[in-house]
């Protein structure tokens, strides 16, 4: 069996499905789903999100230059999908999904209480790329839910049952295969 050749496209899957919270200068908040997000640098800590200019929250991002990445879980999967297909122009998604917002420490954008991890971000550069604008942002604060700390004080996100998005479908992450470096770790008998 061979490989088919397709036209160029985005086939980098799975990706994280995160909920982004934003606020405008008047304090109006919105939440929306982004699957095009990622780490771009560890020192300084930097992330990116890509957003279509026609999205309701785009103007809020442009106005404040701030947002919060809220990691999602199996429990948040329905709300994650809903916040990706409904527009804040038409409905209050926070109220519709019974979500709770908390004030950010460093940014005007709120945190999503139901998320196990909230990453406060401040935009440093915007790249106008075509269908999407990419926001390169510095991480200015991180909040982790204490319920997911293990007995050694390590944050165990896997206990929250995080989800990923792959070509139109949401998935939980599944079984653990190994930890970083397990392929070269010396085994003792």
Q: Residue 183: inside a domain, yes or no?
A: no
Mean pLDDT of 115-144: 97
CB 68 within 8 Å of CB 21: yes
Distance separating the N- and C-terminal Cα atoms of the chain? 41
Is the pLDDT at 182 greater than 90? The verdict is no
Q: Residue 177: inside a domain, yes or no?
A: no
Mean pLDDT of 67-76: 97
Q: Residue 82: inside a domain, yes or no?
A: yes
Look at residue 169 in the predicted model and tell me its pLDDT.
93
- Global confidence as pTM: 0.93
Q: How far apart are CA 79 and CA 174, in angstroms?
A: 21
Residue 61's nearest CA partner among 92, 34, 81 is 34
How far is the CA of 93 from the CAs of 45, 46, 75, 81, 148, in angstroms?
Answer: 30, 28, 16, 11, 26
Q: Residue 41: inside a domain, yes or no?
A: yes
Q: How far apart are CA 62 and CA 51, in angstroms?
A: 11
> What domain range includes position 86?
15-172
Task: Give pLDDT tens digits for 145-160.
Answer: 999 988 888 898 888 9
Domain count, the chain: 1
Q: Residue 111: inside a domain, yes or no?
A: yes
Question: What CATH number does the domain containing 92 carry?
Answer: 2.30.110.10
Q: Residue 109: inside a domain, yes or no?
A: yes
Look at residue 180 in the predicted model and tell me its pLDDT.
85
Look at residue 146 in the predicted model and tell me its pLDDT.
92
On the CB side of 93, CA atoms within 13 Å amount to: 26
Q: Residue 106: inside a domain, yes or no?
A: yes
Q: Please report which confidence band the pLDDT of residue 176 belongs to, taking 50, 70 and 90 as the band edges.
A: confident
Q: Residue 56: inside a domain, yes or no?
A: yes
């Amino acid at each position: 069996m061979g490989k088919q050749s397709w036209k160029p496209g985005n086939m980098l899957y799975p990706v994280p499905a995160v909920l982004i919270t934003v606020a405008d200068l008047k304090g109006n908040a919105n939440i929306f789903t982004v699957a095009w997000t990622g780490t771009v640098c560890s020192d300084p800590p930097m992330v990116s999100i890509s957003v279509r200019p026609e999205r309701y929250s785009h103007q809020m991002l442009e106005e404040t230059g701030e947002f919060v990445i809220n990691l999602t879980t199996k429990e948040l999967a329905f709300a994650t999908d809903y916040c990706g297909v409904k527009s804040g122009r038409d409905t209050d998604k926070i109220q519709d999904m019974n979500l709770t917002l908390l004030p950010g420490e460093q940014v005007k954008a709120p945190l999503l209480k139901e998320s196990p991890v909230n990453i406060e971000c401040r935009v440093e550069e915007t790249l106008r790329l075509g269908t999407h604008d990419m926001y390169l942002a510095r991480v200015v604060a991180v909040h982790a839910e204490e319920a997911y700390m293990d007995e050694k004080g390590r944050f165990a996100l896997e206990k929250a049952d995080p989800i990923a998005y792959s070509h139109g479908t949401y998935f939980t992450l599944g079984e653990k295969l190994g930890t970083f470096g397990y392929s070269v770790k010396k085994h003792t008998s």
